[in-house]
Amino acid sequence: MFDRYNKVQQAVLETTLELIVDKELQAASMSLIAKNSGVSTGNIYHYFSSKEDIVNELYKAIVLFNGEFVTRDLREGDSIQTRFRLAWKNVIALGKKYPNGFRFIEQYSFSPYIYEQSKLEAYKGGWCGRVAKLYGEAIEQGLFIGMEPRFMVQMHYGSIVYILKGHAQHYMELTEDLEDEAILACWNSVSKEKGWNE
Amino acid sequence: MFDRYNKVQQAVLETTLELIVDKELQAASMSLIAKNSGVSTGNIYHYFSSKEDIVNELYKAIVLFNGEFVTRDLREGDSIQTRFRLAWKNVIALGKKYPNGFRFIEQYSFSPYIYEQSKLEAYKGGWCGRVAKLYGEAIEQGLFIGMEPRFMVQMHYGSIVYILKGHAQHYMELTEDLEDEAILACWNSVSKEKGWNE
DNA sequence: ATGATTAGAACGATCATTCGATCGAAACAA
DNA sequence: TTGTTTCGATCGAATGATCGTTCTAATCAT
């Protein structure tokens, strides 16, 4: 997940992510990060300029990773429906496979702790824009109703995030069938005709 | 919002909410809460046993308030569609009118800082269960597809939360027309027939 | 031997919490 | 009425712990 960093940085970032996600930001103290990562506090400051710097680096790295993960197998040649299903399947797979990174972005994408510049970099590398473009195509082809693509993506992302949250909190099971149903529901919410009719 | 508390407690709760929402939990230090609320630290501990206690009281109070707000005007006699629209309209109105309380619940409903007992009390007084029952009726009447009501509510709540988030961050406008479109999209995502056909 | 890397003690600041001292209004005594 | 007692409400300084960060010395690789 943090391939582009050296081993010390990786250890620090992984530890910080773990601490923040299953405690709180405040619980991720430098001394705890140092102890759990096996890197001394002094050395941490050799690779990061501050605690804020660690958290922001974490943010950028995860957004980049997530963006790559979600859109990695979207081919221009495939139909809109195929790409639609694949994209949201990937979002769900991401949330299940990398719950810590997912929850972190979930929690901190609106936080003042993250610099505006980090968010800007995130926006460029993120996947929302690319998926919104797909929605635009769907409107052009008369598959979707005339709603702002960004708005639809936001709605659908919210749906997926919340069923993932429910899953993570063990409020509800999340089988493959349910995933498919959820994605179909998203499609139907903005499609002109109901169902997958290809 | 905190009617059932005395004046000192109200001042503390309001100040804490404000600090947590527009900074972070860590930024809401006792000394800051004391300064901004006009209540001395010593006196705060006369009414609350700890900082955790304040935050948990805050959580319970807001959940109760939100539950009341969302379901206040749902009448058994009204049609399913009417109640459906009204409920989600209320959720949106809540998010717009009380953004701090809304964001607080959003951020901390999955946090380990909130005791399990607080979450349990919240669950009983919350509105999700009541709306899920409405969905159950819709299934019985053949209006909705046979999907777990809690699952549908979770999805739709996610949609609404995210367009509210987008609105709050000024990523997107949120006009009354758009609200109606979003609610209709939620309906269509799980309905057997498209559109409001009453 | 030199320069980068690592360690952990030390620093001042700030944290949540405690504590002893006042304040103020009611209760009672004269 | 007036003076005294009482007790919860309120305050803010003090406490020890812990915070993020810095510093100096030791270690490592070359």
Mind giving me the DSSP string for A20-50?
Answer: HHHS-TTT--HHHHHHHHT--HHHHHHH-SS
Cα nearest neighbour of B170 on chain A: A110
Highest mean pLDDT among A26-40, A124-138, B118-132: A26-40
d(CA B157, CA A88): 18
Q: Report whether A91 contacts A182 (CB < 8 A).
A: no
Classified as helix, coil or strand, A135 is: helix
Report yes or no: A29 at the B interface, CB cutoff 8 Å: no
A141 strand D contact, CB < 7 Å: no
B91 strand D contact, CB < 7 Å: no
pLDDT of residue A173: 85
Is B55 found in the same domain as B136? yes
The stretch B118-124 carries a mean pLDDT of 80
pLDDT of residue A24: 84
Weakest mean pLDDT among A26-30, A109-113, A164-168, B157-161: A109-113
Q: Report whether A8 contacts A47 (CB < 8 A).
A: yes
- What's the structural domain count of chain B? 2
pLDDT of A190 above 90: yes
Q: Does B195 reside within a domain?
A: no
With beta carbons under 8 A apart, name residues in chain A contacting B171.
150, 154
Mutate to test the interface with A, among B22, B23, B153, B155 (most CBs of A within 10 A): B155
pLDDT of residue B126: 82
CATH of the domain at A67: 1.10.357.10
Condensed to tens digits (0 to 9), the pLDDT of residues B125-179 reads 788 889 999 999 999 999 999 999 999 999 999 999 999 998 887 778 899 999 9
B24 vs B185, more confident? B185
Separation in Å, CA of A166 to nearest CA in chain B = 8
Interface contacts A/B by beta carbons within 8 Å: 109
Is B184 found in the same domain as B105? yes
Is B99 found in the same domain as B17? no
Residue with the two structure tokens 């790559």: A68
- Its pTM stands at 0.91
Q: Do A158 and B159 touch (CB under 8 A)?
A: yes
Considering chain A, what percentage of its residues have pLDDT values greater than 70?
Answer: 99
Is B71 found in the same domain as B163? yes
With beta carbons under 8 A apart, name residues in chain B contacting A91.
none
Q: Does A113 reside within a domain?
A: yes
User: Which residues contact residue A18 at a Cβ distance below 8 angstroms, ignoring those fewer than 6 apart?
Assistant: A36, A100
DSSP bridge pairs for B191: B144
Considering chain A, what percentage of its residues have pLDDT values greater than 90?
Answer: 77
> How many other C-beta atoms are found inside a 10 Å radius of the C-beta of residue B64?
18
pLDDT of A64 above 80: yes
Classified as helix, coil or strand, A139 is: helix
Is B71 found in the same domain as B22? no
The stretch A94-105 carries a mean pLDDT of 95
Is B163 found in the same domain as B101? yes
The stretch A136-141 carries a mean pLDDT of 97
C-alpha separations of B193 from A179, B131, B188 in Å: 21, 20, 7
CATH of the domain at B33: 1.10.10.60
Report yes or no: A52 at the B interface, CB cutoff 8 Å: no
Is A76 found in the same domain as A4? no
Closest C-alpha to A25, from A1, A48, A51: A51
> What confidence category does residue A198 fall into, taking pLDDT thresholds of 50, 70 and 90?
low
Q: Report whether B1 contacts B98 (CB < 8 A).
A: yes
Is B185 found in the same domain as B131? yes
Q: Does A8 reside within a domain?
A: yes
The stretch B101-128 carries a mean pLDDT of 86
> What confidence category does residue A48 fall into, taking pLDDT thresholds of 50, 70 and 90?
very high
Is A146 found in the same domain as A98? yes
Is A69 found in the same domain as A41? no
Cα nearest neighbour of B160 on chain A: A155
Condensed to tens digits (0 to 9), the pLDDT of residues A18-38 reads 999 988 888 899 999 999 999
Structural domain that includes position A150? 51-190
Q: Do A161 and B163 touch (CB under 8 A)?
A: no
Condensed to tens digits (0 to 9), the pLDDT of residues B30-86 reads 999 999 999 999 999 999 999 999 999 999 999 999 999 999 999 999 999 999 999
Is A173 found in the same domain as A139? yes
Report yes or no: A132 at the B interface, CB cutoff 8 Å: no
Q: Does A61 reside within a domain?
A: yes
Exposed/middle/buried for residue B47 (C-beta within 10 Å: 0-12, 13-18, 19+): middle
